Structure 1
Amino acid sequence: MTSVAKEPQLIIGNLYRVPVKSISFADQKAGATFFNPRLVAGNRRGFSKEEMSELREAIRTEGLEHPLTLRSIGNKLQLISGERRLRCIQKLIKDDSKCYNPATKEWVPAAELYEYVEARIGEHDDQTAWKLAYSANDKAIGIGERATIALVRELRAANYDDKQIMAITGKSITWLKDTDLLNTLDKDTLDALDGDQINRTVAIELAKIDNIAQRLGLLETARNIAVQRLEIMKEKLEKEVAASESKADMSRAYAVEAEYNGQSKIAADAEAKAEALEAKAAEKQAQADQLNVSSPKVTSKDLQKAKNNKKKSGGSGAKVALTKAKIKKHWLAPVMETIKSKGVDEEGNELPIDLEDAHLVKVLCEHIENGEQDILKILTQHFKAKEKRSA
């Protein structure tokens, strides 16, 4: 049995042969200040059974093509990037799988071939570790929008500033500010983004709508527009398929007739045209079939149409919270006029209201405008003022 070495073996520069058993994973649950960004907020993109099975089989039959990235923390070697590959190797060893050794071109036990793996080792701080891990993941199977958004939230919570986060992600300040905005989204809209039902641009536009009910209402309208758009595309493709097939039949009939009349060249051209039309019909049919199994994805144009529809319908749907200016114009001003006129309209008719209710509305509007949050204080003041008026 091969003995297990306890120390990494230098190859060149920062590249080492490292015993697999000596590599540790960064544990988010244990309070680590760095961990795999792919796993932020419970994201498991790239870790599905099918994806891991495909990667494991590739490593088993082709070998490990790229070194892992590690950092030295005390007497431990912590994994920075390559978690999917390392877990695949561990599974191959556990299953006692036979693996292909590219160097010897032989099939050997996984425990023998992967007793050591190549890895780059550095003295990296948390910020550098985040940067290396994010970059490596972004170049492989993307970690997904939701995990990226959650990563920025984690970094903000750890007091990383704009420059540090931009250095980690390699993104611009505009991207970062947009991602901060996406971190204000509700769960339903985030689910739509994560499920590829909307793109990042649409999500950013939705995040600018503070009222969640209005936001979700607009998203639903945009979804309906996307469904209609998909149906129109399907109908158009089906018409194109039918037209191409009809033209192909006519061309083939013409070819048969030309052949019968001894016009071989004309017949050959007509047959070639028929085949081209049939190929076009098959291509359009394939596109239509793809649409039949696809869920409509909301685009920026769909969202804009939804906004336009809301405007045309007078903003029907979820109501927007009133601004202070509108409260003053539509509530406070009319009620003060009513109090001033002692409950009488312009024609001298008595209004069917209780003036004390008008006084209460006036007090509420004034305190809302001034930012008062203690409702009991407001009601107490109103009660005392009411007693004075009735004295």
Structure 2
Amino acid sequence: MGGQPTARAERDTAKRQLSVLQGVGLYVGAVLGTGLLVLPSLAAKAAGPAALVAFLILVVVSAPVAATFGALAGRHPDAGGPATFAHRAFGRRASAVAGWWFYFGALAGMPAASAFGAAYVTALVGGGRTTTVVVAVVLVLVAVGVNAVGVELSGRVQLVLTAFLAVLLVGAVVVSVPHARPEHLRPFAPHGVGGVATAVSLLVWSFTGWETVTHLAPDFRRPRRDLPLATGISIVVIGVLYLAVGGMTILVLGPAAGSAQAPLAELLGRSLGTSVRVIAAVVAVVVTLGVLNVFVASMSKLGAALGRDGALPSWLAKGSDAGEVPRRSLLVVTAGIAVSFVVTVLTGFRLEPALRAENACLAGIYLVAMLSGLRLLPARRRQWWVAFAAVVLVLGVFVLAGWYVVFPAALAAGALVYVKFSARRAVGAGD
């Protein structure tokens, strides 16, 4: 009897496949992903050169947020991620709300995530919206296929993709420096403070992703040590690259930055010639696959955890443990993404509303997770104060969501109704 717990622990450890470097790959791929392909252009359109202030604000905000996520995931590794933190801190209802915000909010944003990369292919080969939609769908299907194999393959592939991305971005910044023009910084804030606020609300997408890896925490070899370490390395890498690429986009493209369909391709094209657009399109596809890979993996694991905890049908629960593939949840995620694509196409393929609605959900998740940190991390210690700073900063970002908070409010109501209904059904079945 005494040897059974040890044997079980050894089996659980053997199932864990992810290393610190793979964790960095997952983080950087999730955070420094598709948003970098298009959002610098949208931010420049909203705020002009003052978009750089928006980038800096979100780098500052993301550091304590990311550190808190890493500390919580290391202490409480579970496929539920923020939903698990909320459950431990505030109970089942808060857990269900946080889980629904990520699960359904991310589903709404998947067309935008895949279309950002597909836009680079369209810019290269032409074909307009039809090409963008077709390529976006293909990218999603590839990510689904990779995750159907398992997290070990996803982690290895992600590490290669992230290394390739980092090399490309550093190269793009270096070759763009001779083409930078300081006069492109004037006028610095043509749309005032309101423009900067709008840019921040758009760029929130660029700095989300810290929550995704928490759903994969059980698959790390030593979560308590590996996750905070991977988070710290990723914060530095992501902050430097975002500021560098965002700055070069404005300094090189100038007024044209706000109208560039694929700003990274424009940046490389002006620096090295139009032939680089082919490379940029290939890299955009690789980057998008990396992001979709992480999000599909996270949503699938979360769906299984929510099924296990009663926030979604129990049929989804299979696959929530370390090393398991949540294929039932993956099937539901795939179907949900298909529905999101249909809705997006029928509404004119307008990506910004879905993007801002998802951002509102993510801001809500971040706020709940940071508040959970105040309950779960050692009081008045360093990690607790970091979580406190994160709460204040995320609250400010959440306010910027404006009327888009209607979307997470509706999901919260749906989650609470479902939990209440499922609890009554469980009692009835027991009787």
TM range (shorter): under 0.3
Instruction: Give me the TM-score of the superposition, normalised by structure 2.
Output: 0.22
Q: Which one has the bigger helix percentage?
A: 2
Instruction: Give me the TM-score of the superposition, normalised by structure 1.
Output: 0.23
Q: Which one has more relative contact order, counting CA pairs under 8 Å at least 6 apart?
A: 2
